[in-house]
Amino acid sequence: MSDFIIETKNLTKEFGRFVAVDQVNLQVPKGGIYGFLGPNGAGKSTTIRMILGLVKETNGEVRLFDQSIKKDRLAILSRVGSMVETPSYYSHLTAYENLEVIRQILGADKKDITRVLDIVKLADVQHKAVKKFSLGMKQRLGIAQALLGNPKLLILDEPTNGLDPSGIIEIRELIKNLPKDHGITILISSHILSEIDLMATHVGIINKGKLLFQGRMEELRERQKERVQLEAEPRAKVEAYLKDIGIPYTSDQRFLYLDPAIEPAKINRELIMNGYNVHQIMLKKHSLEKIFLDITGREGVV
């Protein structure tokens, strides 16, 4: 039995010569919140649509609940709730009436409407017309629709898009509580790293259709560790000197990075005394945004 509630194997989608999703191997563990992170146009929505069977893959396989979606799609998807982009609703109907429409389609118990309204905290306004709702309330109604039928997996595509700060906080707290209070596994896509950082237990980073990183959020945060950042010349001779005195380092095109246990002042003094030019040496801790940009090879802030 697989430990993953979603598993894709070399999932690929081509539109003519354009490869939107390129051999993606997602592994979403049970009981957590998996943040599917990437810039706009990275391939997140296309991947989600293939997982839900809304778009046919060019190559590869989608497995939900350790079953291939090709073999028994309807039975598998009956255990999945989803909200892809903007939720659908009838604006002239009340929240309760909108949920009743979905409930009848799903064949869910009538009591389920009360249950999901309580979860998303819309019970007090259930008889109010949806056209009078704020955007945040409409998003919560969309999540309530996805929760009808008591799914074990919830897939949310950019659920905080367009919300003001208070609306974002409401949705975030709602999502964070679902796994522990209701045993639901969540896949949530976003292009905003700070939101994923505040919610997710696991993360996958996609860009230009390729999955570039996948693991626990702790693994991504581990890359934030403080290091000594050194810029000195001549570069090749400085690197050779560090190797000679047994100091390990990593590097990029401009800087050398040393373990923070090594005293910057001591290294600075030794390099200068040995005739090297030290342009800068400092303790440096990368932000998650910088790590994200390094992984995706992008410029600017996400």
Distance from C-alpha of 139 to C-alpha of 265, rounded to nearest angstrom: 53
Q: Which of 192, 216, 240 is the last residue of a domain?
A: 216
Task: Give the pLDDT confidence of 25-51 residue by residue, as tens digits.
Answer: 999 999 999 999 999 899 999 999 999
Do the domain assignments include residue 166? yes
DSSP H or E run through 142: helix 135-147
Cα→Cα distances 69→57, 76, 105, 209, 218, Å:
11, 7, 21, 21, 31
Note the pLDDT of residue 1.
62
Distance from C-alpha of 144 to C-alpha of 62, rounded to nearest angstrom: 25
- The residue among 270, 151, 294 whose CA lies nearest residue 212 is 294
Residue 258, domain CATH: 3.30.70.980
Residue matched to tokens 């810039």:
39
Do the domain assignments include residue 68? yes
**Reported pTM:** 0.81
Report the relative pairing of strands 67-68 and 202-207 from DSSP bridges: unpaired
Task: Tell me the angle at which helices 111-119 and 95-106 cross, rounded to the nearest 10 degrees.
Answer: 130
With 0-12 / 13-18 / 19 or more C-beta atoms within 10 angstroms meaning exposed / middle / buried, residue 295 is middle
**One domain, residues 170 and 275:** no
**One domain, residues 237 and 211:** no
**One domain, residues 245 and 212:** no
Do the domain assignments include residue 160? yes
Q: How many domains does the chain have?
A: 2
- The residue among 156, 206, 211 whose CA lies nearest residue 179 is 156
Q: Which of 194, 216, 238 is the last residue of a domain?
A: 216
Which phi and psi (to 5°) does residue 244 adopt?
A: -65, -35
Above 50 in pLDDT, residue 302? Answer: no
**One domain, residues 175 and 270:** no
Task: Give the pLDDT confidence of 137-162 residue by residue, as tens digits.
Answer: 999 999 999 999 999 999 999 999 88
Do the domain assignments include residue 177? yes
All residues at 6 or more sequence positions from 287 whose CB lies less than 8 Å from its CB, including other chains: 224
Of 85-89, 126-130, 195-199, 266-270, the range with the lowest mean pLDDT is: 85-89
**One domain, residues 32 and 155:** yes
Task: Give the pLDDT confidence of 238-286 residue by residue, as tens digits.
Answer: 999 999 999 999 888 889 999 888 888 999 999 999 999 999 999 887 7
- The residue among 230, 237, 227, 234 whose CA lies nearest residue 268 is 230
**One domain, residues 167 and 238:** no
pLDDT band at 216 (very low <50, low <70, confident <90, very high): very high
Do the domain assignments include residue 144? yes
**One domain, residues 31 and 9:** yes
- Domain carrying residue 165: 4-216
C-alpha angle 201/207/211, rounded to 5°?
A: 55
Do the domain assignments include residue 301? no
Do the domain assignments include residue 302? no
**One domain, residues 115 and 263:** no
